[in-house]
Structure 1
Amino acid sequence: MRASRLIALLLLLQNRGLMTARQLADELEVSVRTVYRDVEALGAAGIPLYGAAGHAGGYRLVDGYQTRLTGLTTDEAQAAFFAALPGTAAELGLGEALATAQLKLRAALPAELREHAERIQERFLLDAPGWYGDADRVPHLAAVAAAVWAGRAVVLRYRRWRAPEEIERRVEPYGLVLKAGRWYLVAGGTSGIRTYRVDQILETQSLDEEFAIQDGFDLAGHWNGYLADFRARLHTAEALVRLTPEGAHRLGVTPTGTGWTEARVPIESIDHAHREFLRLGTDIEVMAPAELRSRIAETARNLTTRYEGR
């Protein structure tokens, strides 16, 4: 751990020039006292750095010195691909490796390209999770990711929505996908290639069994096909509704005038449409199917009874 920190400190000075002990401590997330000890250790190892006292003081490397410690480790190389998603790297257990990899990459770049890369990092940010709801807890993500890296089979105890709600399966993890802040495992098994939500994994057991991914399998291509199939199954029915101009706007329907607009809209299921249409309040009237109209009318009666009774 300390060797890694010493390299990080050295690369920080190489990349940024003069830095105070407090700045170094903040970057490395250690105390100023620890920075003093690390600087002494680097000096004892023959690294040509010096410290200047005073308001404009700090530590810097002797002009012209360049470390050769810029080769990436395996973890750092993997982490570099998550540079736009530091939270994702941290979830996979690669947070520290990512920080070190970025330092090494900066150290290897010419000054002009280094400045360009830093400007991009300062001005562009990718925030993958959606707005609503807390992020899923994924306590088994690191174990699943390790199985993906190593190409080893695992036994999952998994919770699903239909009976039996808990199942146990031996799977061969082909890859991980992060979609809208939620992790999915794509894995092969006796029933073919399946997709599992990582936050629904209850337990993992690593097996000492290597496997070979099916010939021709492409993770991105498989995921795109999975999404297309999901969308095709998503809207299997439709509803006839009347909408106010505001309701039409909120539902993405083009209004036919300033009054009510009649439209047919695709729905996933009666339950799902019931929840979604209730959000529109008085801006929507469901005409068909009859079951959906009846469900919403019953909910409206229950709400009226509840609020009038107080």
Structure 2
Amino acid sequence: MSAGRLLSVLLLLQSRGRVSARGIADELGVSVRTAYRDLARLQAAGIPVYAETGRNGGYRLLEGYRTRLTGMSEGEARALFFAGLPGPAADLGLASEVAGARLKLLAALPAGLREEAARTAEVFHLDAPAWYQEPEQTPHLVLFADAVLTRRVVEVRYRRWRAPQEVDRRLRPYGLVLKSGVWYLVAASKSRIATYRITQVLEAVLSDERFDRPPDFDLGAYWTSYLDDFRTRRFSGRATVRFSPRGLRRLPDNLPPEVVRAVESTATAVGDNGWVEAVIPIESPEHVCGELLRLGVDVEVVAPPELRQAMAYTVGVLTGMYGST
């Protein structure tokens, strides 16, 4: 039973007045049977929910009853979104607000729902950074969070990969994204909307100039499109590679998921020793050479020639370093 969904049902009844079980099911994306169970659970928890029969019947709260989600500050209201994300909330400077909002939210719930919410909090924990990575230091993150919420222009000095490496930008921040423990800013400059890694911001000054974010801008849709474009640009080449049975087992731990999926879909048997040959996407010979060498003797590059040469050169250098004298 989802405590969050029960709260959604309660707030739906409070905001709509009268709602049918079918209406609740459609709104929350659950079955009608689940909606009936949720309504019964609310009644069992002491919430005055009652049914009205007839053509326009449905479920509603007793006249005058309202949940007591009051007394929250503006910061606590913002922090509700991060109630289950203590790490990101702390990054954004909202740690104390999150704690206060959660306490007030729990205090406002009836005893039954309060216990359900507490049990849920005890068994779920989110740790955003990936394995083998230290959390990035983001001294400008709080400033950007303020800029996003208040829609104020930010003057930044940014370090990028291509020359000139350090550039000045006047940005209109549209949103922040946390991806695998790394914070990104989505912002509009004079010419386009782009993505900026927060740790690459060298200087940032929050101005008094305000801006209007386009009403049709969807941060989630933009990020999905950005990731699709990134993958397309990232894997610009192809290589034919052979893997041993042990190499196949080690693939998920050593190569990107796009490569793993390509092997699964294109692999064909080579000989009778369990080796397979597959066509995989690659960034560049230099980059993929290092990735493939993680598999040691369980991988062999067939093509292109420049990648095979890069592998041979690297192995030759290693042989010179570690060979017997």
Superposed structure 1 runs of 4+ greater than 4 Å apart:
none
CA distance in structure 2 between the aligned counterparts of 1:73 and 1:246, rounded to whole angstroms: 57
Unaligned runs of 5+ in 2: 1-67, 252-259
Structure 1 position 248, deviation (Å): 2.4
- Assess if the C-alpha contact under 8 Å between 2:92 and 2:142 holds in 1: yes
- List aligned pairs for 1:39-58, cutoff 5 A: none
1:166 pairs with 2:181:
no
What is the rounded CA distance, in whole Å, between the counterparts of 1:134 and 1:173 in structure 2? 26
Q: How does 1:233-244 map to 2 (within 5 A)?
A: 233-244=233-244
Counterpart of 1:228 in structure 2 is 228
1:31-69 CA deviation, whole Å, 9 max, x = no partner?
Answer: xxxxxxxxxxxxxxxxxxxxxxxxxxxxxxxxxxxxx89
SS of 1:280 mapped into structure 2: helix
Contact 2:157–2:169 (CA<8 Å) still a contact in 1?
Answer: yes
Aligned-pair CA distance for 1:191:
1.7
SS at 2:82 equivalent: coil
Q: CA deviation at 1:179?
A: 0.7
2:296 is the alignment partner of 1:286:
no
| Equivalent residues in 2 for 1:210-221, closer than 5 Å | 210-221=210-221
1:91 to 2:91 alignment: yes
User: Does residue 1:300 correspond to 2:312, yes or no?
Assistant: no
Counterpart of 2:132 in structure 1 is: 132
**Shift of the alpha carbon at 1:227?**
1.0
Instruction: Tell me the residue number matched to 2:286.
Output: 271
Tell me whether 240-249 or 172-181 shows the greater mean CA deviation. Answer: 240-249
Q: Displacement, 1:214?
A: 1.9
Question: What residue is the counterpart of 1:31 in the other structure?
Answer: none
Which one-letter code corresponds to 2:297 in the other structure?
Answer: T
SS at match of 1:81: helix
Paired amino acid for 1:234: R
Shift of 1:309: 5.8
The equivalent residue for 1:52 is: none
Does 1:195 find its partner at 2:195?
Answer: yes
Query: Are 1:242 and 1:262, in contact at CA under 8 Å, matched by a contact in 2?
Result: yes
Partner of 1:107: 107
2:184 is the counterpart of 1:181: no
SS in structure 2 at match of 1:279: helix
The match for 1:77 is 77
Aligned to 1:14: none
Per the alignment, do residues 287 and 150 of structure 1 end up closer, same or farther by CA in structure 2, a change over 3 Å counting? same
Q: Which amino acid aligns with 1:225?
A: S
Instruction: Give the deviation of 1:147 after TM superposition.
Output: 0.8
Amino acid at match of 1:292: L
Quickly say closer, same or farther: Cα 1:284–1:69, change in 2 above 3 A: closer
Counterpart CA distance in 1 for 2:151 and 2:240 is 50
TM-score by length of 2: 0.72
Using the aligned pairs only, state the percent identity.
53
Given that residues 70 and 107 in structure 1 are in contact (C-alpha distance below 8 angstroms), is that contact kept between their aligned partners in structure 2? Answer: no
Do the aligned residues in 1 keep the contact of 2:79 with 2:97 (CA within 8 Å)? Answer: yes
Backbone CA RMSD of aligned residues: 1.6
